A and B are shown apart, each in its own frame.
Chain A
Amino acid sequence: MRSHSAAMALLAALAAGVAAAGCTNNPYPQADRDKKVLYSSFHDAPKTLDPAVAYTTAEHVITGNVYDTLLEYHYLARPYRLIPGLAVSVPKGQDLPDGRQTYRFQLRPGVLFHPDPCFPPDATGRRTREVTAADLAFALARIADPAVNSPVIGSFAQIEGFADFSKRLEDLRRSDKAFAALPIREQYAKAGGIAGVLVHGGHELQIVLSQANAQILYWFAMPFTTPVAWEAVAAYDGKDGRDSFADHAVGTGPYRLALYEKQFRFSLARNELWYGTLSTNSDAPGAVFPTEIDPKDSIEGRIDPAYAGRRLPFVDRVTFYREREGIPQFNKLLEGYYDDGGIIKESFDAVIQNGRLSPAMRARGMRLDVTVEPSIFYVGFNMEDPVVGTPAGERGRKLRQAMSVAVDSRQYLELFLNGRGLPAQTLLPPEIFGYDSSYKNPFRQYDVERARQILADAGYKNGIDAATGNRLKLSFDTSATTAAASLQFEYLANSWRQIGIDVEINATTYNQFQDKVRHGAYQIFSWGWLADFPDPENFLFLLACENARSKNGGPNTASFCNAEFDSLYHQMKYLPNNARRADLIRRMLAILERERPWIELYHLEEFVLSHAWLVNSKPMGISYPAYKYKDVRPELRARLQGEWNAPLRWPLYLVLCAIVALTVPAVRTYYRERL
C-alpha cells in the first residue's frame, strides 16, 4: 500500500501546489493595486542612457522623461508646435551679417539636478545643484566630442566652430598624453570650447549658426541637448566597478530613474525637486496641463478636460517590463496588466473591425488611437551594382521601374501589418511639408502586366536576359533573424519572381549583412526610416550623394548619386517652408520617380490601445513620450482586472480525475489478485 499512498500523496501535493501558487495570472503584488503606478512594456533593451547617444524608442522612453529639454513639443497641438521647457521662451532667430544666424535661450532659474551621490552635499545636505547655461554648453560639447560617438554629430555641424572643436579635441588627445588624461570638463575648456556656443552669465545660452536654419530649434526639443552635469560624467566612468554614465541617468526631468535592470525592467519615480513643482514656475508651459484642448480629443475620451491647467505630473511611478514576444505582451494588455500597448497582427481582426474597435473591446472601455508615423519603409537598390544600379544605364533604370511596379504595397500591408500603413507614393509621409495627397506615383501602382512589359523593354523578357539567354538572377540581402521577419522578404521576392526574375534571399546575420554593405556586395535591401523632426530635409538627405554609403559610410545606403538631385537638395535644405521650397521638392521627387533608387513601400500607422483607467494618453508621433501628462485610476483598474481574469479551474480537476481513473483499477486488480 505504501507506494500507492505515496503516489496519491504526491498527486495531492501537486494539486495543492498548483492551488497554493495562487492560481492567478496577476503579475503584480496585491499591495500595489491601489497605487498610482502606470504599467507599460518595452521590447528592445535600451543600450545607453547617455543623452548624447541614446537614439532608439526604448532609450527615449527613459531619456525623454528623466532629462528635460530647453524646448518641448506641445502635448496636444497638431501639427507639432514647440513650447518652452527649461527655457523661459522659444527664442527667435536673429540674422547676423554674411547669412549667419543666432539664437538666445534663457534658462529658468532654480532648476535642480536629481539628487545623486556624484554631487557634493550643499548647505542643506542635499546632494544636488542648480542647472546653469554651462551645463547646456557642456552637453553640446559632448555631442561634438568624437569619443562620445554621438549619432547626431552631423546635425549640429551648422553651429559655428562645431567641427573645429571636434578636430582640436582629437588632435590634442592624440598629440598630448597629459591632455588626454585630464578630466573631460577640463579637456573641453583647454580645447577652447565650441566657438558658436556662448554662455552669458548663469542662465543664458547663445548659439551661432554659420547659415540660417529654422530647423535647429527642433534639436533643442530632443534629449540630446539636455543639460548634463559634468560631475555625473566624471563620477560614472564605468571603471573599477563604478557605473558608466550610459547606465546612470542624472537629469532634471519630472521623473528620475528609480530602478534600472535594462534586460528586464525599469521604473521611473516622481522627482520631488522638479522645476515644475516650484511655486515660481506655476505658469511654466511645460509644468501645467495644456488648457487648449481639441474638442475631438475630449469627445473621444482621450483627454479629460478637467485636467486643463493642473500641475504636472500625476502618476507617482511608471514601471516598464521587458516583453520580447508580442503575444504574451498583448495578452497581458488585454488582461488589464498593461495600461497601454500596440496591437499584434495576430489579434488585429479580433480587436479592430471595419477600422474601429470591436464591440467587445468597446464594452471593456478600451480606446484606440491611430497616427501615421513620420516614417518611410522602402526597398533600396545598390546604385553601384552593375545589374540593378546606375552602371546598367537605361536598362537598369527600366529594371528598377519594373520591379517597383511589381510590388503591391497594399497587399503587403494587409498581410504583414493588417493594413496598418499608408501605401507610399514618395518618400514623404503626410503632415510633412511637400507631401501631396493627390500625387500618384506611376511606378508605385501595382500592375503585373505593366511590370512584365517594362521588364521586356529592359531586355529581360519573362526574366530571361535577351543577350545571354539566362534567367536574370538577383540577390536580396536581409539581416532577418526571425522566421516571421523572413516571410516579409519572401513576399517581396515572390513579387519579383512572378514577373520572372529569380530572386535569391540571402538572410545573413547582422554582421555579415553590414560586411556586405561595406564592401558594396549587395544588390537589394530593405530598410526603414523614422524622422527625427517634421521636415522634408530629414527624409531627402537619405538620398543625397554626400551621405552615400559607398563614399563616406553615410545613411544613403543605396549610394544614389544624382548631380541634379544634389543641387536641388542644397537649395532646398535650409529654406523656410514656402512656395519655392515646395517647387524644389517637387522637382526632387520627380527625379526619384524616374530613377527609382528606392521602391517606397509604406508609411507606418501606429495603433495604440489604452484602457479606460488610463487618461490623457495621446500618441506622440514625432515628439517624445511624456508620462508627466498621463494619469491612471487604480480603483477602476483593480475592479476590471478582477472581472476579466477569473481562472478556468475545471480542466485541472479533469486531469486529476483522469489520472485517478487510470490508476485505481490497476491497484484494485493488483490487490484482488494478491489477496
Chain B
Amino acid sequence: MHWVSDILVVLLASAAVGVCRYVSGDRFWRENATELWRRRPFAIAIVGAYLLIALMDSISWVDPASDANALTSGKPRTIIDRLFVPETFTEASYSAPLASVAFYGGQPLLHPGAHLLGTDLLGRDVVYRTLKGVRVALLIGGLTSLVVIPIALLFGVSAGYFGRRIDDAVFFAMTVLASVPTLLLLIALIMVLGKGTVQVCVALGVTGWVHFCRIARGETLKLRETDFIAAARALGVRDGTIIRRHILPNIAHLVIITFALSFTALVLSETILSYLGIGLDGSWGQMIDQARNELSRTPVIWWNLTGASIALFTLVLAVNMIADAMRDVIDPRTRREG
C-alpha cells in the first residue's frame, strides 16, 4: 500500500509545481502571491518546510543486500529514514530530551545527547517520529482535498451552470450528505470500509466534497447571471469554453481559501479518528493518543505529547494564517476595484 501514497505524494508535489507555474504566468495571481508572501513570509516558509519534509519522506529506494547493512537491505527506505536510521538510532525505552542516561534506571544511553526531543516508550526518537508524521498529515489534508476539489468542481460547476436536472440531482446528493452529521458519517464510512490510508482518505473525501460543491455551485449560479457570461453565450461560445475561460478562474480564489480551511479541519479531525482507534498509522493523532497518559507519569513525560502537538499546531496555525491573509488579499471586492 506504500506505493499508493507515494504516487499520491508525487502527484501532490507536481500539482504544487503546476500551481506555482500558473501563478507566475498570470499577472493577477502573481501580484496576489507577492502580496501574500510580503504579508506572511514565515507561515509560507513553514508550510514549504513541511512540504519538503513530506517529499523527503516519500522518495525511497531499496538497497541491495550486503553484510554491512544486514538489517536494512531489501526494504524501501526514504531519505528521512536514511538520515535517522531508526533501526539503530533507538534506546531501550524513555529518555528525556538531550539526556545521556535512560529515564528509568539511569543506564547510559546508546546515543547520549543525540535525541533532541528524547525517545518514547519503545526508545524511538521522537523527532524522527514527528517528522514521519508530516507526510501522513499532508496526505490526509492535501490528498483528500486534491481528490475532492476536481470532483466537487465538476459537479458544482455543472450543476450551477446547466441547472435543471443536473442541478436537481447534484443538489439532492448534497442535501443528503449534508444532512448527516459529518463526524458520524466519517466514522460510519471508515467502519464500513475498514482501516487504512486510502480508506480514510476516501471517507474524508466523501464527507468533504459537499462543502466545496456547494460553494462552487452557488458561485457559478451567480456568475451565470452576469453580463459577461451572458455576452459570451450570446456570441455562441461553447459551454465548455465558457466554464474553462470564465467561470473556473472566477471561482479559483474561493476554492483556494476553502482548500486551506478544509485542510486544517481535516488534519485536526484525524486526531479524533485516532482517539477512536480508526486513524492513520504514524499520524500525529496517534502519537498524541499514545502519549496522552504519559502526563500521569512521575516525573512527567511531556516530550512525546509536545513533539506531535507542536508539529500539528504549527502546521495548522501556518495554514490558518495563510488562509486568513489570502482572504484579505484576493477578496473579490478589492479585486473589482483594482
Contacts and interface: CB of A to CB of B under 8 A. Distances in A.
A463 B71 CA distance: 8
A534 B50 CA distance: 58
A415 B195 contact: no
Interface string A332-366: 00000000000010110110000000000000000
A173 B75 CA distance: 58
B227 to A, nearest CB: 45
B122 A494 contact: yes
B293 interface: yes
Given A494-B122, A502-B74, A326 B65 contact: no
B297 A483 contact: no
Interface string A274-303: 000000000000000000000000000000
B277 interface: yes
A507 B195 contact: yes
B104 interface: yes
B193 to A, nearest CB: 11
B289 A490 contact: no
A540 B207 CA distance: 50
Nearest to B64: A469
B289 A482 contact: yes
B64 to A, nearest CB: 10
Interface in A480-535: 481-484, 486-487, 490-491, 494, 497-498, 500, 502, 507-509, 512
A464 interface: yes
B121 A349 contact: no
A43 interface: no
A415 B93 contact: yes
Interface in B83-130: 87, 92-93, 104, 121-122
A471 B277 CA distance: 31
A445 interface: no
Given A411-B92, A500-B71, A512-B194, A349 B104 contact: yes
B127 to A, nearest CB: 18
A346 B297 contact: yes
Contact of A471 (B74, B92, B297): B74
Nearest to A347: B296
Interface in B279-337: 281, 286-287, 289-290, 293-294, 296-298
A482 B296 contact: no
Contact of A344 (B71, B74, B191, B296): B296
A346 B71 contact: no
A481 B174 CA distance: 32
Contacts of A326: 293
Given A482-B277, A507-B195, A346 B296 contact: yes
A349 B290 contact: no
B122 A490 contact: yes
A258 interface: no
Contact of A470 (B74, B87, B93, B281): B74
A491 to B, nearest CB: 6
A538 interface: no
A327 B71 contact: no
B298 A471 contact: no
A483 B289 CA distance: 6
Given A350-B298, A482-B277, A507-B281, A327 B75 contact: no
A400 to B, nearest CB: 21
Interface string B54-71: 000000000001010011
A326 B92 CA distance: 25
A420 B298 CA distance: 18
B74 A483 contact: no
Contacts of B274: 483
Contacts of A482: 277, 289
Nearest to A505: B281
Contacts of A498: 71, 87
Contacts of B287: 483
A150 interface: no
Given A346-B293, A471-B74, A498-B71, A483 B286 contact: yes
Given A327-B296, A344-B296, A508-B194, A464 B74 contact: yes
Contact of A483 (B67, B290, B298): B290
A481 B275 CA distance: 9
B73 interface: yes
A462 B65 CA distance: 10
Contacts of B67: 462
B71 A415 contact: no
A508 B191 CA distance: 11
A326 B73 CA distance: 41
Contact of B121 (A344, A464, A487, A512): A487
A415 B122 contact: yes
A469 B92 contact: no
Contact of A469 (B65, B71, B93, B289): B65
B75 A502 contact: yes
A437 B77 CA distance: 45
A434 B206 CA distance: 58
A475 to B, nearest CB: 13
Contacts of A350: 297-298
A415 B294 CA distance: 13
Interface in B23-50: none
A349 B298 CA distance: 7
Contacts of A349: 104, 297-298
A484 B293 contact: yes
A471 B293 contact: no
Contact of A484 (B65, B92, B93, B290): B290
B119 to A, nearest CB: 12
A426 B195 CA distance: 35
A604 B205 CA distance: 44
Contact of B65 (A344, A464, A491): A464
Given A483-B289, A509-B191, 18 more contacts: A326-B293, A327-B296, A344-B296, A346-B293, A346-B294, A347-B297, A414-B93, A463-B71, A469-B65, A471-B74, A481-B277, A483-B286, A484-B290, A487-B122, A490-B122, A494-B122, A500-B71, A507-B281
Interface of B: 65, 67, 70-71, 73-75, 87, 92-93, 104, 121-122, 191, 194-195, 274, 277, 281, 286-287, 289-290, 293-294, 296-298
Question: Which 8 pairs of residues, A with B, have the shortest CB-CB distance?
Answer: A481-B277, A471-B74, A483-B289, A462-B70, A346-B296, A350-B298, A483-B290, A346-B297
10 contacts: A346-B297, A349-B104, A415-B122, A471-B65, A494-B122, A498-B71, A502-B75, A507-B281, A509-B191, A509-B195
